[in-house]
Amino acid sequence: MIRAIKSIPYNIKKACKSIVRNLGASVSSIFAVTVTLILIMLFAVAAFNVSSFTTNIETHIQVLARVDTIVEDTQIPELETKLKSIDHVTNVRYSSASEQLDLLINDEKSKGKYNSFKNSNPLPAAFYVDADEGKNVPAIKKKILEIDGIMDANYGGDSVNAMIKGFNSIRIYGGIFIAALSFLAMFLISNTIKINIHNRREEIAIMRNVGASNSFIKAPFLFEGIFIGILGSIIPILLTIFGYGYVYDMLGGHMLTSMFTLLAPLPFVVYLSGILLAIGIFVGFIGSLLAINKNLKWKR
Q: Is the pTM of this model over 0.85?
A: no
Whether residue 122 lies inside any domain: the answer is yes
Query: Does residue 189 sit in the same domain as residue 286?
Result: yes
Query: Does residue 73 sit in the same domain as residue 127?
Result: yes
Domain end residue (candidates: 103, 137, 154): 154
Which residues neighbour 189 within 8 Å (Cβ) at sequence distance 6 or greater?
29, 32, 33, 225, 228, 229, 283, 284, 287, 288, 291
What is the pLDDT, as a whole number, of residue 299? 44
Provide the residue count of the chain.
300
Whether residue 268 lies inside any domain: the answer is yes
Q: How far apart are CA 206 and CA 212, in angstroms?
A: 9
Query: Does residue 36 sit in the same domain as residue 171?
Result: yes
Q: How far apart are CA 66 and CA 79, in angstroms?
A: 11
What is the pLDDT, as a whole number, of residue 9? 76
The dihedral built from the CA positions of residue 141, 142, 145 and 146, taken in this order, carries a sign that is negative
CATH code of residue 93 = 3.30.70.3040
128-186 tens-digit pLDDT = 998 887 778 888 999 999 999 999 988 865 566 676 677 777 777 877 887 887 788 78
- How many CB atoms lie under 10 A from the CB of residue 122? 9
Query: Does residue 165 sit in the same domain as residue 236?
Result: yes
* DSSP track, 235-247: HHHHIIIIIHHHH
What is the pLDDT, as a whole number, of residue 2? 63
84-111 tens-digit pLDDT = 999 989 899 999 888 888 777 776 555 5
Query: Does residue 244 sit in the same domain as residue 178?
Result: yes
Q: Which domain holds residue 87?
A: 62-154
Query: Does residue 119 sit in the same domain as residue 262?
Result: no
Question: Shortest CA distance to 132 belongs to which of 229, 48, 59, 43?
Answer: 59
C-alpha separations of 7 from 1, 10, 19, 21, 220 in Å: 10, 5, 18, 21, 10
Averaged pLDDT for residues 181-204: 77
Residue 300, pLDDT above cutoff 50? no
Whether residue 300 lies inside any domain: the answer is no
166 burial class (0-12, 13-18, 19+ CB within 10 angstroms)? exposed
Helices (H) and strands (E) in the chain — how many of each? Answer: 11, 4
- Report the percent of the chain where pLDDT is more than 90: 18
Query: Does residue 45 sit in the same domain as residue 86?
Result: no
Averaged pLDDT for residues 211-220: 73
Name the domain count of the chain.
Answer: 2
276-285 tens-digit pLDDT = 999 989 888 8
